């Protein structure tokens, strides 16, 4: 009988994160004056302990015990072989997936939400603000804040706020406040509504609102939290790929291809960066970040310096960007509707270390249905993008063997 699932012991959970900044050269973010941003410039937005991680070039960073104790609620997560999918496709390829849906909010997002809540609490912060697209990140931060006794306010992209009411319920259950964005609570939101009273919203607008809400708090006890894009977020997510490597080693396996969906980059970075490290050091492996054709950041946008939000509150980041004013079509994969791509993911594309792909909404849903009817799990719209390319690659393997 084939081995379908590999589960590590709690004692085998990785105890250090992998920092890709040790192995690639990244251009610095720029301030409004065109000069590189200094760590102290970010202090009104993030706590200094996270800013230190953001700029660190140390390859391995210890995970605090207090973070591990919360991660152990659901980690390590299973590595599962998709045996039924393989049989349905008639492919000789062995397909494995890392099941991050076993976390309390049902995604990979709390890997960094827990870490960020911990560092904010340690710095003396009492309240956190953030944005969310499909609601995965907002619910993850709400969960994490509940673990550390922090208040949480989430600005949720309006189209998703209306499409996904149960995500709002999850945030409320964990004690967070969820607001449809654009809202009238911030200048950024009011400006967006003045331009388009029927705006479906965007992550860029929601980020502007969340940052504004944090930096205008007169108590100085509120900070902003980002669920993707930035270096420290990518860092925290690498626990996924580090676990996967251990699990594959137990099977005597090493992948030929690694695939992850990519909106801002955190899901992709989590599974891929530990394997990117191997590729940089000579391993033969193909690594594909996958995005929607409707929001083709890596596959069609230029590599430029651009703001991470609509109101231009963030520094200028070196990244692939469709433009900070871009409002994507309201496709159902709300987590992949961001106008920009993580600077580290972007740099890996520039250097040819990873190869981005884009797929249509129709193809992603067909792939998701195929997965649901074979493996039994109904995947998220975002995950379906990675599944679509995994199925393409499995079919290619079948053709090559004929």
* Beta-strand pair 151-157/303-307: unpaired
pLDDT tens per residue, range 13-64: 999 999 999 999 999 999 988 899 999 999 999 999 999 999 999 999 999 9
Inform me whether the pLDDT recorded for 332 exceeds 80: no
**So what's the pLDDT on residue 330?**
75
Residues 209, 302: Cα–Cα separation, whole Å: 26
If DSSP codes are grouped into helix, strand and coil, which group holds residue 302? coil
Residues 217, 341: Cα–Cα separation, whole Å: 29
Contact 136, 106 (CB under 8 A): yes
Inform me whether the pLDDT recorded for 329 exceeds 90: no
Rounded average pLDDT over 310-314 = 84
pLDDT tens per residue, range 298-310: 999 999 999 988 8
Instruction: Say which residue the tokens 């230190």 belong to.
Output: 52
| Secondary structure E strands in 182-248 | 222-224
Inform me whether the pLDDT recorded for 206 exceeds 90: yes
Q: Measured between alpha carbons, how far apart are the two ends of the chain, in Å?
A: 25
Percent of the chain, pLDDT > 70? 99
Q: What is the CA radius of gyration of the chain?
A: 20
Residues 212, 207: Cα–Cα separation, whole Å: 8
**So what's the pLDDT on residue 176?**
97
Task: Name all domains of the chain by residue range, CATH numbers in brackets.
Answer: 5-20+57-106+232-400 (3.40.50.1100), 108-227 (3.40.50.1100)
Q: pLDDT band at 2, cuts 50/70/90?
A: low
C-alpha 202: how far from chain center = 16
- Cα dist from 137 to 67, 254, 274, whole Å: 18, 30, 22
pLDDT tens per residue, range 248-293: 999 999 999 999 999 999 999 999 999 999 999 999 999 999 999 9
Encoded tokens for 137: 């990140």
Percent of the chain, pLDDT > 90? 86
**So what's the pLDDT on residue 14?**
97
Give ∠ CA 335-340-346 in degrees, rounded to 5: 110
Helix then strand then coil, in percent of the chain rounded to 5, is 45, 15, 40
pTM of the prediction?
Answer: 0.94
Task: Compare 7 and 338 and report the one with higher pLDDT.
Answer: 7
Inform me whether the pLDDT recorded for 113 exceeds 70: yes
Bridge-partner residues for 18, per DSSP? 60
pLDDT tens per residue, range 151-203: 999 999 999 899 888 999 999 999 999 999 999 999 999 999 999 999 999 88
If DSSP codes are grouped into helix, strand and coil, which group holds residue 271? helix
Q: Give the contacts of 159 (CB within 8 A, at least 6 positions apart).
A: 200, 201, 330, 334
Average pLDDT, the chain: 94
In this structure, the number of other CB atoms found within 10 A of the CB of residue 127 comes to 17
Inform me whether the pLDDT recorded for 320 exceeds 70: yes
**So what's the pLDDT on residue 402?**
67
């Amino acid at each position: 009988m084939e081995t379908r699932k590999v589960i590590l012991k709690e004692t085998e959970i990785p105890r250090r994160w992998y920092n890709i900044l040790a192995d690639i050269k990244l251009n610095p973010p720029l301030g409004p004056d065109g000069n590189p941003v200094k760590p102290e410039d970010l202090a009104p937005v993030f706590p200094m302990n996270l800013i230190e991680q953001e700029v660190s070039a140390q390859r391995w960073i210890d995970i605090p015990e207090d973070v591990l104790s919360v991660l152990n609620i659901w980690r390590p997560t299973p590595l599962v072989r998709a045996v039924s999918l393989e049989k349905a496709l008639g492919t000789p390829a062995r397909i494995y997936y890392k099941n991050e849906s076993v976390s309390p909010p049902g995604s990979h997002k709390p890997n960094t939400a827990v870490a960020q809540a911990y560092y904010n609490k340690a710095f003396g912060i009492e309240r956190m603000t953030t944005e969310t697209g499909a609601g995965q990140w907002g619910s993850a931060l709400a969960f994490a804040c509940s673990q550390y006794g922090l208040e949480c306010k989430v600005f949720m992209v309006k189209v998703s706020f209306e499409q996904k009411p149960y995500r709002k319920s999850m945030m409320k259950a964990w004690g967070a406040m969820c607001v449809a964005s654009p809202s009238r609570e911030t200048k950024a939101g009011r400006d967006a509504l003045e331009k388009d009273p029927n705006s479906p919203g965007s992550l860029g607008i929601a980020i502007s609102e969340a940052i504004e809400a944090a930096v205008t708090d007169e108590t100085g006890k509120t900070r902003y939290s980002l669920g993707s894009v930035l270096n420290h977020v990518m860092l925290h997510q690498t626990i996924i790929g580090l676990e996967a490597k251990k699990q594959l080693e137990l099977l005597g396996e090493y992948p030929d291809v690694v695939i992850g969906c990519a909106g801002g980059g955190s899901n992709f970075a989590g599974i891929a960066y530990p394997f990117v490290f191997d590729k940089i050091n000579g391993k033969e492996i193909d690594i594909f970040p996958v995005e929607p054709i409707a929001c083709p950041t890596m596959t069609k946008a230029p590599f430029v310096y651009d703001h991470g939000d609509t109101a231009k509150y963030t520094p200028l980041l070196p990244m692939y960007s469709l433009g900070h004013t871009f409002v994507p079509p309201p496709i159902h994969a709300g987590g992949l509707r961001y106008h920009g791509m993580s600077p580290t993911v972007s740099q890996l594309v520039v250097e040819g270390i990873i190869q981005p792909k884009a797929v249509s909404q129709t193809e992603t849903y067909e792939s998701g249905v195929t997965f649901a009817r074979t493996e039994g799990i109904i995947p998220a719209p975002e995950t379906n993008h990675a599944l679509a390319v995994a199925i393409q690659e499995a079919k290619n393997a079948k053709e090559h063997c004929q």
